[in-house]
Chains A and B, each alone.
Chain A
């Protein structure tokens, strides 16, 4: 390497370092940083070049405006002439709607429009199965179903108008227990479709052979409950139509592309006429992954010719947005005397609530991960998701992974205790290693479960961890 080349390299390093410094500065609260454009080559890293952000203590880019209270969330938008919408909730888990009378609500001074299922061009949507109505028409499937919506000049008037809407219901016996719903003789909620609307099986090796060779077989059942995301910012959306029949929807939605497709379907408007603007979201956690109030405000805005905003009340967050799937998890595990797992059989029953939402994703992920991070030769895992007349379940942090983790780790503890083996030790004897096959027989690389467990045990002072490491 001649001197010139070395000098060039040094100069390049210095150049890059100064650019890195500039980039670091930019990583610090861009809202507050001066508008000084960086050269393109700094912004677009080369292949395999590590971003200078690694190992930096960066402040959040949005921190400044958050702290100043100047970040605008959807509910902070007020357009001129804007109306406020409220949705009437069924409050009954399962019923046929006999009659909806909105006359008195419409007559209330300050009310500009009322819509019901009749006003919805296509009253079904969903991320996979299109089984969810915008507003319930003939049937109510869970207490949080919307049955009518009002737009009024103030939120107070809209709320008052809801009380003036009369709905006559004919109650239908609800199905609330997922195990009951699983039975073939239980009438289908969404007949003629069966209550089991998703099913997955994972087979690896031969569990029967594994159980036959086992020293002991352990069986246990675990259950988790329904969990709501409770983002501090409630779901909110605001719709406004322009003179050329295009609608702009400001929304707390996390998946705007999917939302656009669902809106095109429900409103029967070409996607090219729908613009969704999502801004900073006040907490999502998976709960803002599909449309809720968006088609309702779009319909009300169309009907009134004015911008309409709807923000969920806190109770609506619990009753009318998705929640985490409760899962009933049956485990059967065959082990050797030393605690080595020879076979594991799992059955998961996911309580899907009234509509499908993101159940298919949750079902698959829960099923794939249900045997745990263990090297098990023989696996049979089967998962079902069923309809019940409860708040719908959908995406939430981990898509089913936390539920099964609770089950398999509880199971491991029970087995360890019964065999008189240290709970860490039994895991070390079974964990996935470099090159192990996952439950779906995918060969795994960069596996550091063992190292992670040992380090964790050492750091929180697990008895005996030092010796093993």
Chain B
């Protein structure tokens, strides 16, 4: 067993894990953070996407021990019921999710994109979401939602610079 210490959604967490434990299993089974999903276990579907040190990562492909000392953000770290992250608000408003299973991963991928590039082109959005599979929606409303968040951010920045 190996001891890992990491920051999860802003909180310091410690666990003792067997060496083959993935970051996804650590989050789901040790920390009870089931928002990140196991869809394929081989890094194809993106349902397990979390942010590690600001980058989106397939948590099923990362060992828990590799996350030692790092900063992990999962879907649960984004918002509360009353105060949604703009991405969650727009995903809700635009009807971007259907069964919702891929949602946490997609929202995290979109957040990682916007954190790095607040004003992405549609192509950049598509590229950022390319590692996340969805079988229900056909993706278009998700892309629309990410664009709307980017647009709102842009408007805010413009308003800020005028003031």
Q: A-side interface residues toward B, CB under 8 Å?
A: 29, 32, 59-60, 62-73, 75-76, 78, 156, 229-234, 280-285, 311, 313-314
Task: List the 3 shortest-distance A-B pairs measured between CB atoms, nearest first.
Answer: A69-B35, A66-B100, A69-B75
Q: Binding site of B, secondary structure by majority: helix, strand, loop or mixed?
A: loop
Closest to B20 in A: A156
**B99 contacts A232, C-beta separation under 8 Å:** yes
> Is the pair A69, B39 in contact by a Cβ cutoff of 8 Å?
no
What are some 18 contacts across the A-B interface (CB < 8 A)? A62-B100, A63-B92, A64-B81, A64-B92, A66-B97, A66-B100, A67-B87, A67-B103, A67-B107, A69-B35, A69-B36, A69-B76, A69-B104, A75-B37, A282-B101, A311-B38, A314-B39, A314-B41
Residues of chain B contacted by A73 (CB below 8 angstroms): 37, 101
- With an 8 A cutoff between CB atoms, is B88 at the interface? yes
Could you tell me the distance between the alpha carbons of A65 and B104 in the complex, rounded to whole angstroms?
10
CB contact under 8 A between A283 and B76, given known A59-B92, A67-B88:
no
Judge whether B130 is part of the interface by a CB distance below 8 angstroms. Answer: no
Nearest B residue to A284 via CB reads: B99
**In the assembly, what is the distance between CA of A383 and CA of B101, in Å?**
37
User: Is there contact, CB below 8 Å, between A60 and B95?
Assistant: yes
Interface hits, B82-96 → A, CB 8 Å: 84, 87-88, 91-93, 95
Chain B hits for A284, CB < 8 A = 99
- The residues of A that contact B102 with a CB separation of less than 8 Å are 232
CB-based nearest B residue for A77: B34
CB neighbours of A285 from chain B (8 A):
135
Q: In whole angstroms, how far apart are the Cα atoms of A230 and B39 in the complex? A: 10
Specify which chain A residues have a CB less than 8 angstroms from the CB of B93 in the assembled complex. 59
B contact residues around A283 at 8 Å (CB): 99, 101, 135-136
With contact pairs A233-B39, A234-B39 given, residues A72 and B34 touching in the complex (Cβ less than 8 Å): yes
Give bound CA distance, A64 to B40, whole Å.
25
B104 touches A231 (CB 8 A): no
Q: Do B37 and A67 have beta carbons less than 8 Å apart?
A: no
A70 to chain B, nearest CB (A): 7
Q: Is the CB of A71 within 8 A of B92?
A: no
User: Is B98 in contact with chain A by the CB < 8 A criterion?
Assistant: yes
Residue B125 is within 8 A (CB to CB) of chain A in the complex: no
| Chain B residues with CB below 8 A from A314, complex form | 39-42, 44-45
| Cα distance, A238 to B103, chains bound together (Å) | 23
B2 CB to nearest chain A CB (Å): 15
Does B99 contact A69, Cβ atoms closer than 8 Å?
Answer: no
Whether B67 sits at the interface, judged by CB under 8 Å, is no
Please name the residue on chain A nearest to B98 by beta carbon.
Answer: A60
Indicate the member of A71, A280, A284 with the most B CB atoms within 10 Å: A71
- List which B61-82 residues lie within 8 A (CB) of chain A: 74-76, 78-81
- Which B4-63 residues have C-beta < 8 A from chain A? 18, 20, 28-29, 32, 34-42, 44-45, 47
B133 within 8 A of A: yes
- B134 close to A (CB within 8 Å): yes
Cβ-defined contact, A76 with B97, below 8 A: no
Residues of A within 8 A of B29 (CB): 78
**Interchain CB contact (< 8 A) of B91 among A63, A280, A281:** A63
Q: Complex Cα distance A36/B74, Å?
A: 32
B135 near A230: Cβ-Cβ < 8 Å: yes
> What's the minimum C-beta distance from B78 to chain A, rounded to whole angstroms?
8
Least CB distance from A293 to B in Å reads 15
Report whether B74 and A280 are in contact in the complex, using a CB–CB cutoff of 8 Å: no
| A283, chain B: closest CB distance, angstroms | 5
Question: Given known contacts A69-B104, A282-B100, is B34 in contact with A76 (CB within 8 Å)?
Answer: yes
Does the CB pair B99–A233 fall under 8 Å?
Answer: yes
Given known contacts A67-B87, A70-B76, A283-B135, what 12 new A-B pairs fall within 8 Å (CB)? Answer: A64-B84, A67-B103, A69-B75, A71-B100, A73-B37, A76-B28, A78-B29, A156-B20, A231-B135, A233-B37, A282-B99, A313-B41
Smallest distance from the beta carbon of A284 to chain B beta carbons, Å?
8
Contact residues in B for A234 (Cβ distance below 8 Å): 38-39
A63 lies within 8 A of B95 (CB): yes
In the assembly, what is the distance between CA of A230 and CA of B99, in Å?
A: 13
Write the nearest CB–CB distance from B16 to chain A, whole angstroms: 14
Contact B135 A67 (CB under 8 A): no
B97: which A residues are within 8 A, CB to CB?
60, 63, 66-67
Complex alpha-carbon distance, A411 and B49, angstroms: 45
* Bound Cα distance A342, B147 (Å): 53
Alpha-carbon distance A71/B75, docked complex (angstroms): 12
Within the complex, the shortest CB–CB distance from B100 to chain A, in Å, comes to 3
Residues of chain B with a CB closer than 8 A to A233's CB: 37, 39, 99, 101
Contact with A along B101-138 (1 / 0, CB 8 A): 11110010000000000000000000000000111100
B40, B41, B44, B103: the one contacting A69 at CB < 8 Å is: B103
Residues of chain A within 8 A (CB-CB) of B135 are: 229-232, 283, 285
Determine the chain B residues whose CB is within 8 A of the CB of A65 once the complex forms.
100
Specify which chain B residues have a CB less than 8 angstroms from the CB of A60 in the assembled complex: 92, 95, 97-98
- Closest B residue to A62 by CB, please name it: B100
Minimum Cβ distance to chain B for residue A355 (Å): 24
In the bound complex, how far is the Cα of B109 from the Cα of A187, in angstroms?
A: 53
Q: Are A232 and B47 interface neighbours, CB within 8 A?
A: yes
Cα(A64)–Cα(B103), bound, Å? 11
Q: CB-CB < 8 A to B44: which residues of A?
A: 314
